[in-house]
Amino acid sequence: GPGPGAAAASWGGPGWRLPGRVLELVFSYLELRELRSCALVCKLWHRVLHGDENSEVWRSLAARCLAEEALRTDILCNVPTYKGKVRAFHHAFSTNDCSRNVYIKKNGFTLHRNPIAQSTDGARTKIGFSEGRHAWEVWWEGPLGTVAVIGIATKRAPMQCQGYVALLGSDDQSWGWNLVDNNLLHNGEVNGSFPQCNNAPKYQIGERIRVILDMEDKTLAFERGYEFLGVAFRGLPKVCLYPAVSAVYGNTEVTLVYLGKPLDG
């Protein structure tokens, strides 16, 4: 049936002109889908919902949908607001769009690869992008092994294959950066090394890499720390692209956190 937003809009009475604090309290009991409907009712409701990203609405939603560990540890330390944390959760790794040899940990953001011999295993996020600009960070918590690739993939890219290979970038459906040898991969070929400087430092375990997808410019770029490493891929197709990773090392873990629109430095 119609959600609370539609019901309220049809009142046309004083109900939908409640004080902001009261609206906030009511909204704090709703789920994200219902809040989306409420935001469309009127300017006041939209303002109450989106004016303060740390309001009671987003705090209570975060408390309900995020694991306590995600809120307690530093996983989301670069996502300052509760609204941002809720959004990051909805953009996290998909528990059913990944290799059967990986699972998503209880924190909701970290992939664990089981120790399976001669297999390369990947995962995509729940939501892909066909427009706009988007940033997320990825980091390895455990050995990289021989191949550890971060990047993007279409829905058609395979997330599991035999052997230890650079799965992300192995066909025309994915684009990857192998952190082990600093090679860029697409269509089964090496597209040169990255970043393009002499003696680029090797990736250190725990180091957060920021990935920036620009669907307007059709580019994929990377940052390390606060250093922009440059554009890695240009001419991306106008299709839905998902943040993705592929791993080979037994019991290694990879965390991915969606940050939202990139801040232009």
Query: What does pTM read for this prediction?
Result: 0.91
CATH of the domain at 242: 2.60.120.920
- The pLDDT assigned to 200 comes to 81
- Cα 254 from Cα 141, distance rounded (Å): 6
Residue 18 tokens, joined: 């409640």
Q: What is the mean pLDDT of residues 104-112?
A: 98
Count of structural domains within the chain: 2
Q: What is the pLDDT of residues 27-67, one digit of tens each?
A: 999 999 999 999 999 999 999 998 899 999 999 999 999 99
- The pLDDT assigned to 14 comes to 52
Q: Could you tell me the residue range of the domain that residue 196 belongs to?
A: 94-258
- 187 part of a folded domain: yes
Distances (CA, A) of 253 to 36, 70, 82, 115: 33, 15, 25, 11
Q: What is the pLDDT of residues 158-187, one digit of tens each?
A: 999 999 999 999 999 999 999 999 999 999
**What percentage of the chain reaches a pLDDT higher than 70?**
93
Answer yes or no: do 103 and 68 share one domain: no
- The pLDDT assigned to 11 comes to 46
- The pLDDT assigned to 12 comes to 47
Answer yes or no: do 160 and 250 share one domain: yes
Answer yes or no: do 216 and 102 share one domain: yes
Residue 18 — pLDDT band, cuts 50, 70, 90?
confident
- The pLDDT assigned to 2 comes to 54
Residue 121 tokens, joined: 């295993």
- The pLDDT assigned to 133 comes to 97
The SS3 assignment for 20 reads: helix
- 4 part of a folded domain: no
> Mean pLDDT score of the chain, rounded to an integer?
92
Helix (H) or strand (E) holding 83: helix 82-90
Answer yes or no: do 121 and 166 share one domain: yes
- 144 part of a folded domain: yes
Answer yes or no: do 77 and 111 share one domain: no
- Cα 145 from Cα 117, distance rounded (Å): 12
Helix (H) or strand (E) holding 48: helix 43-50
- Cα 30 from Cα 52, distance rounded (Å): 16
**What percentage of the chain reaches a pLDDT higher than 90?**
85
- Cα 251 from Cα 247, distance rounded (Å): 10
